[in-house]
Chain A
Amino acid sequence: MTERTMNITLHVWRQDNPGKPGKFERYEATDISEHSSFLEMLDLVNEGLIKDGKDPFSYDHDCREGVCGMCGMVINGIPHGPQAATTTCQLHMRKFKNGDELWLEPWRAAGFPVIKDLVVDRDAFDRIIQAGGYITSRTGSAPDANGIAIDKKTADAAFDAAACIGCGACVAACPNASAMLFVSAKITHLGLLPQGQPERKDRARKMVAQADAEGFGGCTNHRECEAACPKEIKFANIARLNRDFIGAMIKAPDDVPKPQPVR
């Protein structure tokens, strides 16, 4: 079978640091194999730039297997590109046509300042997890695998939510740059399991307060996050988050501190 090749025009967002304004620069990717991955195509373009003595553009990537959550850019207006439920690294050039013109932009959110070009700082997500997205458990020897019985449906639902890789595509897709899908994935993951119950009320309050303090917007129920999520995290999780949060604000006996805005 003959291999199809294509020429692609790229408009890549170039920005030196968070403080400086950025702009698009145009590059040509020529003779790209349809079998190459999207990131391999970018690597080829960057190799050409290096050979010409120019500054290659930066983008995030790590495992290239779709599980680590490092990669991600907005490709022609869709986070992670046109293929549903797929990270940028798992996207292949066979999804594109010869002559396509692609606009590559970083996740755009106040909570995710641009470090360089297509790379954004996602420490905000780490701080949201640190605020309450964990269970405080004794770290002794591993418990027996079936020590705590959990029915299959609940385990599956918790696992679906735990599949969130924290890439930030939900924030990128949201018209309000809201992080609620990310927060709700962790709330659902831990809230469905018995181990997550003791800290459930604190978790909802602390994670929401931190997400707000990071400068992410509020959810206005457009469902763009769910459509863009490479791990198909469900929008219904946000309703669970709201339920946990409202319940905790009304019923929890103690207060939690109000975090200071991060920026």
Chain B
Amino acid sequence: MPEITRETVQKIARLANLNLTGVEQDTYAGQLEKILEYVHKLNQLDTTGVPQTSHALPLQDVWREDVVTPSLDRDEVLAEAPDPSGGCFRVPRIIE
């Protein structure tokens, strides 16, 4: 099983858009390794040919009429935004 290094933690944190301090990186490296060591017990089971259950109920896609209904009020939604501007959500620069 893989060893959780500081570099692995940094890579995962980047994927999760999570800035971590050096101390946090070390803490999580140790804790994740311990948790992964524990979950590794799943490999004791032979699951060849066992289907995956992603959902508890056997659900199927259903169709509905494409009827227009009111959405949330734009002003009400923007009232809770950190930086609303001109009817939109303003964010910092995306492209340098």
Q: Do A and B come from one complex?
A: no
Where the two chains meet, the residues of A that have a C-beta atom closer than 8 Å to any C-beta of B are none
Where the two chains meet, the residues of B that have a C-beta atom closer than 8 Å to any C-beta of A are none
